[in-house]
Amino acid sequence: MSNKDIVQPSAQKRHPLTPKGFKWYLGSALFLVVGLYILAAYQTQAFPDRVIEGLPIMFYFVVDDLWPPNWSYLPRVAMSLLETWNMALFSTTLAAIFALPMSFLAASNINQNSYFYQFIRNFLNLLRTIPEIILAVLFVALVGIGAVSGILALFVFSLGILAKLVSETIEAIDPGPVEAIRASGGNVFQVITFGVMPQILPQFASYSLYVLEINVKASVVLGFVGAGGIGIILRQQLSMFNYDNVATIIFMTFLTITIIDLISNRVRERLE
Amino acid sequence: MIEFKNVSLVYPNGHQGLKNINLKINDGEFVVVVGMSGAGKSTLIRSINRMVTPTEGELLLDDQDILSFKEKQLRKLRTEVGMIFQSYNLVKRMSVLRNVMAGRLGHTGTLRSMLGLFPQEDLQLGMSNLERVGIQEKAYVRADQLSGGQQQRVSIARVLTQQPKVILADEPVASLDPPTSHKVMKDLRRVSKEDNLTTLVNLHFIDMAQEYADRIIGLRDGEVVFDGPIDQVTDKTFEEIYGRPIKEDDLLGGDES
């Protein structure tokens, strides 16, 4: 008997790789999803021709209005960018300090009281559902226009993110050392400092830097509602149609964020 | 003295880990617990430091029933009962000495230990224990730089630094190659005899058990099916404990001495 005889399919019964019912299921799911996309495009008027028609307008805006940037406006921009950076730095540092204890409470392998654990988890979820722009509006109303309201808004927002990320890192640690310290009579604080902290320290630093990057970008937007930083002068100059100043702001912001991201990324690569 | 009186343990999923265990283990004895995997070896020794809690009976350590212990007494108990694990359970990113000092946590105040302020005499103790297992020159090396055998020695030094009365070793050499296994077992037996510590070791290799034990306890399906001093143990005994003929796999071999 040759090999060919073995691989010859029998005439009576064919074996599909995918069952027929599943094919129908997959097909209709695909049909539904595509349909929803079409409806979404229709509702938002997101048609490709609008982008194509808009391109020349954008081009002339950049060439006629934005160019050339007003370089004499640079000192004012630099000061505002420094404020933006300081806002991000303060809010991230505060968030890192407060997120650490929170994340232990939000890690099921450390906080073994399941009700308290669920409560903290839900609280952190709640923090993250509030957009930072809403937080900024609230804090501007509370403490007035300026960088402080921005710092508070970014702090609350990044606390939620950081505590979530760190608590997930804690839940993924090697349980061995924790078990060993519990078995030798260590209390929960000793378990944390000797069993958990050495294991999560690199990730904690890395996530804090990542949140710093996010906060620098977010604080640009927050200025639009009066929460300090570069956003305040950006809105001002936009509303006064000083497009040469706007160009300086955009260029410098782009440069600053790129440099910060670059440095932060390098450091984070080292940490991993 | 450790005394099991009618101890049984049923896990929440309904599995019966221990069935009506009655045992007396004298101070300074080096006991090896043997049995197939799933026979309840781990459950038995982990009951002694309450890493698992038996559901019935009494477990006496120096005439105190440890099954009734709550949070604070439990931590006190655990400072007196040291444990060695199959996977060493060291913090890999920490130095060897810091890992050894982790054994001292139960004797050190919370704030002091969190700041890393161990008394100098405790550090001396930690270093001398590293010396006893022959790796004092590795004290400031990160634990993950060490070989498996060295890491298990660090965990022995950690347990000694705890200054316990009892050592529990849960499959301490299951992750090591045969020659290293023998070296580690020799170290463990030597230090436990030097300090007159009661030691319970889980092993599944029968030649190892015969070589190092003073006394052997055999478990099958959560029950004690053999308990006797080493000179009463023959290959027949192991066949009874395992409930089947001895196979090549049950022997580790490779003792170089």
Q: What do you get for the CA distance between the two ends of chain A, in Å?
A: 58
Question: Which residue from A55, A67, A75 is spatially nearest to A247, judged by alpha carbons?
Answer: A67
Chain A CB contacts of B51 below 8 Å: 179, 182-183
B145 located within any domain: yes
> Can you give the pLDDT at residue A166?
95
* Residue B65: CB atoms within 10 Å: 13
Confidence of residue B28 (pLDDT cuts 50, 70, 90): very high
Q: Indicate the angle between helix axes A147-171 and A197-222, nearest 10 degrees.
A: 150
Inside any domain, residue A104: yes
Report whether pLDDT(B152) > 70: yes
Q: How far apart are CA A158 and CA A226, in angstroms?
A: 19
Q: Whole-number mean pLDDT of chain A?
A: 89
Both A45 and A157 in one domain: the answer is no
Q: Write out chain A residues lying below 8 Å of B77, CB-based.
A: 185
Asked if A157 and A39 sit in the same domain, the reply is no
**Closest A-chain CA to B113:** A190
Q: b/e for B8-27, b at 16 or more Cβ within 10 A? A: bbeeeeeebbbbebebebee
Tens-place pLDDT, residues A56-73: 888 888 888 788 888 888
Does position A268 have pLDDT exceeding 50, yes or no? Answer: yes
Chain B CB contacts of A176 below 8 Å: 85, 87-90
DSSP class of A241: T
Residue type, B148: G
* Alpha helices by DSSP H, chain A: 3-7, 20-43, 48-60, 74-105, 114-129, 132-143, 147-171, 175-183, 188-190, 197-222, 230-239, 243-271
B245: its two tokens? 């003929």
Flag the least confident range among A15-19, A126-130, A206-210, B222-226. A15-19
Nearest residue of chain A to residue B84 (CA atoms): A180
Q: What is the mean pLDDT of residues B135-155?
A: 94
Query: What's the pLDDT band for B95 if we cut at 50, 70, 90?
Result: very high
- Tell me, yes or no, whether A11 lies in a domain: no
Q: What is the pLDDT of residue A5?
A: 54
Ranges A64-73, A260-269, B246-255: which has the least confidence = B246-255
- Strand pairing report for B215-220 and B16-25: unpaired
Least CB-CB distance to B75: which of A174, A185, A195? A185
Q: Amino acid identity of A171?
A: E
Note the pLDDT of residue B62: 92
d(CA B141, CA A166): 27
B103 contacts in chain A (CB < 8 Å): 184
How many folded domains does chain A comprise? 2
Nearest to B102 among A189, A194, A199 (CB): A194
**pLDDT for the residue A58:** 85
A209 and A102 share a domain? yes
Distance from CA of A188 to the nearest CA of B (A): 9
Contact A183, B92 (CB under 8 A): no
Percent of chain A with pLDDT over 90: 50
Q: Tell me the shortest Cα–Cα distance from A272 to chain B, in angstroms.
A: 13
Residues from chain A contacting residue B91 (CB–CB below 8 Å): 177, 194-195, 198-199
- What is the mean predicted confidence (pLDDT) over A234-255? 89
pLDDT tens by residue, A109-168: 999 899 999 999 999 999 889 988 899 899 999 998 888 999 999 999 999 999 999 999
Q: Which residue of B has its CA nearest to A201?
A: B93
Name every chain B residue with its beta carbon within 8 A of the beta carbon of A179.
51, 85, 89
Instruction: For chain B, give the mean pLDDT.
Output: 91
Query: Which pLDDT band, with edges at 50, 70 and 90, does A17 fall under?
Result: confident
Considering only CB atoms, which chain B residues are within 8 Å of A173? none
Q: Which of A183, A199, A201 sits opposite B83 (nearest CB)?
A: A183
The ipTM assigned to this model is 0.88
Do A172 and A188 belong together in one domain? yes
Per-residue DSSP letter, A111: -
- The residues on A that touch B, with CB distances below 8 Å, are 174, 176-177, 179-187, 189-190, 193-195, 198-199, 201
Q: Cα separation of A203 and A84, whole Å?
A: 25
Domain for residue A12, yes or no?
A: no
Four-residue CA torsion sign, A114, A120, A124, A129: positive
Structural domain contains residue B250: no
Residue A223 DSSP class? G
Average pLDDT over residues A178-192: 93
Average pLDDT over residues B124-141: 94
- CATH no. for residue A232? 1.10.3720.10
Residue of B nearest to A200 (CA): B93
Q: Amino acid identity of B28? A: G
Whether B192 is in a domain gets the answer: yes
- CB–CB contact B114 A180 (8 Å): no
pTM score of the predicted model? 0.81
Paired with B64 in beta bridges are: B61
Nearest CA in chain B to A186: B106
Residue tagged 């004092």 (tokens) = B136
Identify the band that residue A74 occupies on the pLDDT scale cut at 50, 70 and 90.
confident
Provide mean pLDDT across the span B37-45.
Answer: 91
- Residue A29 resides in a domain: yes
Contact assignment for A176 to B110 by CB distance below 8 Å: no
On the 0-12 / 13-18 / 19+ scale of CB atoms within 10 A, A2 is exposed
| Domain total in chain B | 1
Q: What is the pLDDT of residue B238?
A: 86
Tell me the CA distances in angstroms from A175 to A195, A201, B216, one per residue in order: 8, 16, 30
In a domain, A144, yes or no: yes
Domain that holds residue B148: 2-244
Q: Considering CB atoms only, which of B82, B90, B110 is closest to A184?
A: B82
List the one residue out of B166, B156, B87 whose CA is nearest residue B126.
B156
Residues A30 and A138 in one domain: no
pLDDT of residue A4: 52
User: Mapped to the 3 state alphabet, what secondary structure does chain B carry?
Assistant: CEEEEEEEEECCCCCEEEEEEEEEECCCCEEEEECCCCCCHHHHHHHHCCCCCCCEEEEEECCEEHHHCCHHHHHHHHHHEEEECCCCCCCCCCEHHHHHHHHHHHHCCHHHHHCCCCCHHHHHHHHHHHHHCCCHHHCCCEHHHCCHHHHHHHHHHHHHHCCCCEEEEECCCCCCCHHHHHHHHHHHHHHHHHCCCEEEEECCCHHHHHHHCCEEEEEECCEEEEEEEHHHCCHHHHHHHHCCCCCHHHCCCCCCC
Are A253 and A233 in contact by the 8 Å Cβ rule? The answer is no
Give the CATH number for residue B27: 3.40.50.300
pLDDT confidence tier of residue B255, bands split at 50, 70 and 90: low
Give CA–CA dist B82/B48, Å, rounded. 10
Comparing CA positions, the residue from B85, B82, B96, B102 lying closest to residue B191 is: B82
Q: Is residue A9 part of a domain?
A: no
Question: Is pLDDT above 60 for B257?
Answer: no
Domain containing residue A168: 69-271
- Write the residue in A190, A198, A199 that is nearest to B105 by C-beta: A190
Question: Using one digit for the tens of pLDDT, what is the confidence trace for B59-94?
Answer: 999 999 999 999 889 999 999 999 999 999 999 999
pLDDT band per the 50, 70, 90 thresholds, residue A3: low
Which residues 6+ apart lie within 8 Å of A145 measured at CB? Answer: A226, A227, A228
User: Is residue A108 located within the same domain as residue A44?
Assistant: no
pLDDT at A1 over 90: no
Q: What is the pLDDT of residue A8?
A: 60
Q: Which residues of B sit within 8 Å Cβ distance of A?
A: 49, 51, 75-83, 85, 87-94, 98, 102-103, 105-106, 108, 110, 113-114, 155, 158-159, 162
* Nearest-CB residue to B106 (from A176, A185, A195): A185
- Nearest Cβ partner for B76 among A185, A195, A199: A185
What pLDDT sits at residue B48?
A: 95
Instruction: Return the pLDDT at B71.
Output: 87
Q: Based on the fold, state whether residues A53 and A104 are members of the same structural domain.
A: no
Between A185, A195, A199, which is nearest B78 by CB? A185
Q: What is the pLDDT of residues B172-207, one digit of tens each?
A: 998 899 999 999 999 999 999 999 999 999 998 888
Chain A residues with CB under 8 Å of B81 CB are 183
Do A140 and A56 sit in the same domain of this protein? Answer: no
Contact A176 B88 (CB under 8 A): yes
My answer on whether A73 and A58 are in the same domain is: no
- The answer to whether the CB atoms of A193 and B114 lie below 8 A apart is yes
The answer to whether the peptide bond before residue A68 is cis (omega within 30 degrees of 0) is yes
Nearest to A187 among B91, B110, B155 (CB): B110
In a domain, B213, yes or no: yes
Contacting residues of B for A196, CB less than 8 Å apart? none
Q: Do residues A177 and A91 share a domain?
A: yes
Pairwise CB contact (< 8 Å): B90 & A176:
yes
Q: Does residue A80 lie in a domain region?
A: yes
Note whether B44 and B59 are within 8 A (CB).
no
In a domain, B64, yes or no: yes
Q: Are A195 and A205 in contact (CB under 8 A)?
A: no
DSSP string across A67-107: PSP-GGGHHHHHHHHHHHHHHHHHHHHHHHHHHHHHHHHT-
